[in-house]
Structures are given as C-alpha cells and as structure tokens.
Chain A
Amino acid sequence: MPEFLTAELLARAQFAFTVSFHIVFPAFSIGLASYLAVLEGLWLKTGDEAYLTTFRYWLKIFAVAFGMGVVSGIVMSYQFGTNWAVYADKTGPVLGPLLGYEVLSAFFLEAGFLGIMLFGLERVGKKLHFMATLMVAVGTLFSAFWILSVNSWMQTPAGYGINEAGQFIVEDWWAVVFNPSFPYRLVHMTLAAYLTTAFVVGGVGAWHLLKDRSNRPARIMFSMAMWMALVVAPLQVIAGDMHGLNTLEHQPAKVAAMEGHWETGSRVPLLLFAVPDNEAEGNHFEIGVPALASVILKHDPDGVIQGLKDWPKEDRPPVFIVFWSFRIMVAIGFLMVGIGLWSLIARMRGKLYESPLLGKAAVLMAPSGFIAVLAGWVVTEVGRQPYTVYGLLRTADSLSPVEAPAVATSLAIFAVVYFIVFGAGTVYILRQMAERPGTPAHVPEGPTRAAAYTTDYVKLAEGGRHD
C-alpha cells in the first residue's frame, strides 16, 4: 500500500464517507416525520381526503428513507469502537451516556411505533395511529437533540475533568449536555432538516404541477413547502449567523478557515472567491468586499479578527475544503430565501401554481437541502481538525490499534455496498416520487405493501375499523 495511506487517513475517510451517507437520511426523515404528522393531523381535523392521499404518498417514501437511515446508523454506532478505540476509551464516560440516552429516548420510540405507523392503521384506528405518527416524529427530534449534544461537546467541550487513566470524566452534566455551541447547532440542524424536506416536497409537488396544475395533493405539497421556505429559510440565515458568532468565540481557527483569512488584523474583507493554499499560507485569486467580514463577525468595520497564522501550522484545519464548503452552504441558503420570496410574490398575484418558471426552479432546488447539509457538516467537522475533542484530543491520537490494510479493506467494501444498496434505495424513492399523487400506486403482481396501504385507508375512510 502507498505510504501516505495511513490507518489514520483511511479511518478518517471511512468515517467521513459513512457519516456523509448517513446524515442524508436523518436530515430527511426528521423533516418528513414532522410533515407526516402535520398531514395526518390536518386530515383528522378537516376530513379532507387530499391530505390523506398526500400522507400516504410520503409515508411510502418515508419507509424507504427511514430503513436506510437505520441500517447506515448502526454502522456509525459501532465505528467509534472499530476505528477510533482510543477515542472511545477516553470520551466514553462523557459521551457514552448521551448516546445511551439517544438510544433509550429516541431510537426505541421511533422503532417501536414505526411498525404501527406503517402497517397498523386498520388495527389500532385513526387516533392511536396518529399518536404513533407523532411518537415517530418526536423520536426523530429527540435523536437530533442527543446526537447534536454529543457533537457539540466534541466541538466546545465543557463540564469535564480528566482522570488518571486519561479519560474525560464528568463534573457537571448540565454543562456537558448544554455545552456552549449546542443550542446554536441544534437549532441550525433542525431548521436544516425541515428546509431539506420542504424543498424535496416542494420539488416533487412542482414536478407534478408542471404536468397537471389541478392535482390537489401536488398543490398541497407545493404550497406548504413554499410557506416553509418563506418562513424558515430567513430564520435559518439568522440562526446560521448566530452560530457563526458562537464559533468565532469558541473555535476562532475554524472561522479563520471559513473566511480564508490568514493575517490577524482589522477591516477584514469578505472573500467571494479565493483559492486558499495551506503551503503558501495565503490565497490565490482573491475577490472580496472590503471590511465586510469584520462587519459581519464583529459588527464593526475596524473589528480585529484572528488570522490562521496565529496558530502553529499543525493546529490549523485544512483551509480549502472548509472555505469552499462554507460558501456552497451559504449560497444555497440565500437561494432558498430567494425561492421563498418569489413564491410569496407569485402567491399574492394568485399565480402560485401557474408559474412554470417558479415550478422549474423548485424542481431544480429539490436536492439543494441535502447539498447544504453535507456542506455544512464538512465545514463543522473538517474545520474542527486536527482534533476530535477540540483543543484536547488530537485525531491522530484517537485511533484504534488497527492496521491500515484492515481499514482500507473495510472502507472499500463499505463504498461498494453503500453505492449498491443506497443507490437502489434512491432509485426506489425517485421512482415513488415520479408516481402521480392521487392515483393508485403501481401494483406489481401479487399482494404488495403499496396495495395494502391503499386498501387500508380506503376502508378506513369508508367507515372506520374492520376487526
């Protein structure tokens, strides 16, 4: 094996790869679970069949996405041990209980009620079924709460001590769970999940509206999604800004990398384009707005911001990746705000469903949330390097005593398997999204889930339980 392929690099690649694949599904299912609960609630409240049709449509997609989230998540929970054993030993007393709470309060809740949500309507009736849907939605939010607490503690550790075995131990649980960056990260990620789902739902709705403007479920999807974009996307910009200021306070090196900012000084420009270079300790091809970064970060054009050169070379995060991921995320955020405003104008003119241009833009933007979420996580995770626990435990010192070939082999197998399995899953989801909402789903020979859902709900709508 080539020499640069160290166990550390491979283990990092494996973690980045598996976690990037995984994050897509929770981001989607957090938003979708809440959306399903709202749809079912609206159906129960209004009795309008179109909500039920929309619910049923997204439930099938949810089932596939959730299944992929579960299996890719199990991989994550064991990877701490297989590739990052020293990290696991040292942080276990602090982070283990938080993950334990995630399993106990979130995973079991989701898994326990998922079966009823997917297959139980006929058996438990409308109200209990709605409760099951709510429990699944609440479970996904609990999960976000704990996993973001864990991640935030690694970014901004608090409330800990260190024992004689070199393990982190807890001095104050309150300070550990509600560590300095946690509230910002939780809000930012939850909004991101809702936006991601909104743009997928809006894109699918727009796609079907472009073919048939009168399709009721498609109109419901598109209208609800555009409300979300209008309200939540600007909120996200504010939350993102607050998160950025928090990062500046606790992880200034990360912010310097996000800004591509090398020399400490005032009147720092906001770079729109640059090619940061770790070796040369500077940027090529800079285009920037003078003093704007100082204004944004310090709310003062003369505000002094630390540059990367303030840190020794070995303590700096890789700048290029962080710099560009950050720009991708921010650009998508502003595009989302733009779509929201556009939809408002169209709505006020009474042409929300009649504008093909808006519809096409919404279709194009359907995957944008996923890209923004991935870019955002790259900013926060790569920006934290070279540490696993910020300032305290280096990534290089977190590794398992495993040999590079073992990590390389498992990485290669994960890559192949993920592309096959999740590729197939994505095809099934896209195929489902191509089905026109409101028509009976494609029914292959033999009894299918799709057919069963249909009959379940039709029977239920016709007159309650059949036992």
Chain B
Amino acid sequence: MIDLPLLWALLIATAILIYVILDGFDLGIGILFPFLETDEDRDTAMNSVAPVWDGNETWLVLGGGGLFATFPLAYAVLMPALYVPVILMLLGLIFRGVAFEFRWKSRGHRKAWDHSFTIGSMVASFCQGIALGAFVQGIAVEGRAYAGGWWDWLTPFSLLTGLALVIGYALLGATWLVMKTEGRLGLKAVRYARVTMIGTVMFIALISLATLSLDPRFMAAWTAWPAILYVAPVPFAVALLAFYLWRSLGRAMDHRPFLATIGLFVLSFVGLGISLFPYIVPMEITIWEAAAPDKSLSFLMVGTAFLLPLILGYTGYAYWVFRGKMKPGEGYH
C-alpha cells in the first residue's frame, strides 16, 4: 500500500518550494524595483516577469488549496495561527498584482503604482518569511483547533526569517535579471546579486543555528548518529554553492547565478524538512494525524498524476516562448 499522506506531504512541500522559487524571483524584482535607476530599466525588469508572474502565483493557490484538500486539520490550525501575516501577505499580493496592468493604464499615477508594486512585493515577502518563522517556532494546539492568541507569531525569530526571505527573494530577483538582461541593467543586477548573496548566506547560517536552539528535537534531527551522516552534507553543499554563485557572478551574464540561487533555496528547504519531519504543525500534529481520509487523497491523486506533468509541460513552454535576453523597449510590454 502506498503511504498517501507521506506522498501528499512531499507533493505539497514541492508545490510550496516551486512557489518560493518562481514567485520568489518576481517578488524579488519588486523588492529591487526602487533601486533601479531609470524608468527604462524598471520597465525592462517588470516586463521580464509580466508574462509569467500569474502562473508563478498560482503555485501559492495550489499550496493553500492542496493543504486544505489533503491536510484539512493542519490548514484549520495554521491559518488562524498565522492570521495576521497571511492577511497582510494577501494585501501585499493584491497591491503588487494589479500594478502589472495598472501602471500602464493610469495617466499620471504611474509612480503610485510603482510604489504599490514595490511595497506590495516587500510586504508579501516579509509576511511569508514571518509565517515560515512562526510555523517553525511552534504553534499552540488544543484538540483540533489553534489555541494561541493572534499575536503569537510575532517574535524576534519570525522577524529574522521575515527579513531573511526579503533578502533571499531579492537575490533570486537579481540573478533572474542577470540572466534576462544585459548592459547597464545587467551590470547593476550583478552588483545587487553580490550584496544580497552575502546577506542570504549570513541569514541561512544564522537561522539554521537559531532553529537548532528552538527545540531539542530539532537538534536531535541534525546531530543523532547515524542520521548525521545523511544530513551533514547539506551545510557543506550550501557553502560550495555559495562559492560557485560568487564565482559565476564574475563571469558572463547568463543562467548560472540564477540556477545556483535556486540550489541555495532547495538546500535550505531540504534542511527545513529534515528539522520538521514528520510534523505538519511543528511538534504538535504529524502528517498522518492531519491527513484527510485515503479516499480523498486517492481521488485527488489520480487527477494530479495526470495534470501535474501537463502543467509542468505548458508552464515550461510558456517560459520557453519568452526565453532569451530582454531588450529595452522590446516587443511584449
């Protein structure tokens, strides 16, 4: 018999990871937006993500909808616990999402929608990071419901993870620009990538250590023998990738820095998974306790097995259609 809850937990985690990487770079463009010097550069940067941002954000809906579908108990506990950051994130996403169309349509208010794009992107990223931190640090549960207050999420740790995600997304955005643009904007992106990379690596180290001290079980997950043999390569791989990223930024402006950054995100995500497994509400509810009945899980699995490859296929196609370097003022504004 297939362990459906485990399979679904892996699938949902993958959907969230894909979301973080894909929306991460277009949120990152929003975070870097005010630092770009000319209107032309801002237009180019925004146009480099305009055809794909909507698809990127759909992974967030899959993450939320998928959690509701397959782990309704976890969804019902986590959402009230993360009430404030989730609502603020949604508001941020509203402001940045509409900016893609509105800034071209408004007469005289374009600056306002540029701010809306920047602030919305920053708030959404920061709140996602806060939600992650609040999730990792633990959530009060009684029976089948959230038992804490509506400010429990606010701690130094969650603020730290919030900040970390903003910097991390900025790095994703910068390396995306390194890949998609050239000339002045490309060079600028290289500089931003260097700065945000240093920040990102520092935050990864800081948060990793802070996480270990949160709960002895986190510590155990990383230090128990023989598990340590499997997990020890993770931090080494992070260091190696960071080195590779730095080197690749000094060379041609191509896809390598972006791929290396994705690697950093994947490794951080795997590290998080090692700490948390098998909990879906950390240290309170395991994936098997929260899972919907097998009949629900298998019903959705049948369609997912067929639809997910299809989605990946046409999403890939959409990216391929808009491949290559952006040129200022080019085609599809």
| Chain A residues within CB distance 8 Å of chain B | 63-64, 67-68, 70-75, 77-78, 80-82, 85-86, 88-97, 99-105, 107-109, 111-116, 118-120, 122-124, 135, 163, 165, 167, 169-170, 173, 400-403, 406, 410, 413-414, 417, 421, 424-425, 428, 431-432, 442, 444, 446-452, 456
Contact = CB atoms under 8 A, between A and B. Distances in A.
B46 to A, nearest CB: 11
A115 B300 CA distance: 27
A100 B301 CA distance: 10
Contact of B331 (A77, A82, A99, A456): A456
Nearest to A167: B72
Contact of B322 (A93, A120, A424, A450): A120
A452 B328 CA distance: 13
A85 B146 contact: yes
A105 B69 contact: no
Given A74-B60, A93-B292, A448-B104, 9 more contacts: A77-B65, A77-B68, A85-B76, A92-B292, A100-B70, A103-B58, A115-B51, A116-B51, A402-B83
Given A64-B105, A104-B308, A421-B95, A96 B76 contact: no
A73 B65 CA distance: 12
Contact of A424 (B54, B106, B331): B106
Contacts of B91: 413-414, 417
B184 interface: no
Contacts of B54: 67, 70, 111, 114-115
B112 to A, nearest CB: 9
Of residues B70, B83, B150, which shows the largest number of chain A Cβ atoms within 10 Å of its Cβ? Answer: B83
Contacts of A70: 54, 57, 97
Interface of B: 39-40, 43, 50-52, 54-55, 57-58, 60-62, 64-66, 68-73, 75-80, 83-84, 86-87, 90-91, 93-95, 97-98, 100-102, 104-107, 109-110, 144-147, 150, 292-293, 295-296, 299-300, 303-304, 307-308, 311, 314-315, 317-318, 321-322, 329, 331-333
B79 A85 contact: yes
A92 B72 CA distance: 5
A75 B292 contact: no
A71 B93 contact: yes
Contact of A74 (B75, B90, B307): B90
Contacts of A431: 105
Given A421-B94, A447-B329, A447-B333, A103 B66 contact: yes
A147 to B, nearest CB: 11
B76 A78 contact: no
B315 A108 contact: yes
A400 B69 contact: no
User: 7 tightest CB-CB pairs across the interface, nearest first?
Assistant: A92-B72, A81-B79, A96-B69, A115-B51, A119-B332, A89-B76, A93-B292
Contacts of A74: 57, 60-61, 90, 93-94
Contacts of B317: 112
B105 A432 contact: yes
A92 B73 CA distance: 8
Contacts of A424: 98, 102, 106, 109
Contacts of B93: 71, 74
B332 A421 contact: no
B83 A112 contact: no
Given A74-B61, A428-B105, A85 B145 contact: yes
Contacts of A93: 72, 292-293, 295-296
Given A63-B101, A71-B93, A119-B322, A82 B79 contact: yes
A451 B51 contact: no
Contact of A163 (B40, B75, B293, B303): B293
A109 B311 CA distance: 7
Contacts of A92: 68-69, 71-73, 75-76, 292, 296
A157 B47 CA distance: 46
Contacts of A414: 91
A100 B300 contact: yes
B87 A115 contact: no
Contacts of B332: 118-120, 122-123, 452, 456
Nearest to A172: B295
B75 A81 contact: yes
A104 B312 CA distance: 11
Contact of B75 (A88, A113, A425): A88
A129 to B, nearest CB: 10
Contact of B98 (A67, A105, A400, A452): A67
- Between B50, B78, B97, the greatest number of chain A beta carbons within 10 A of the residue's beta carbon is seen for B97
B58 A108 contact: yes
Contacts of A444: 107, 110
A170 B84 contact: no
Given A71-B94, A82-B83, A450-B104, A96 B296 contact: yes
B150 A402 contact: yes
A456 B75 CA distance: 45
A170 to B, nearest CB: 5
A462 B40 CA distance: 28
B329 A111 contact: no
Contacts of B146: 85, 400-401
Contact of A406 (B39, B70, B84): B84
Contacts of B329: 447
A449 B94 contact: no
Contacts of B292: 92-93, 96-97, 167
Contact of B311 (A71, A108, A169): A108
Contact of A78 (B79, B95, B318, B331): B79
Given A89-B144, A450-B104, A112 B315 contact: yes
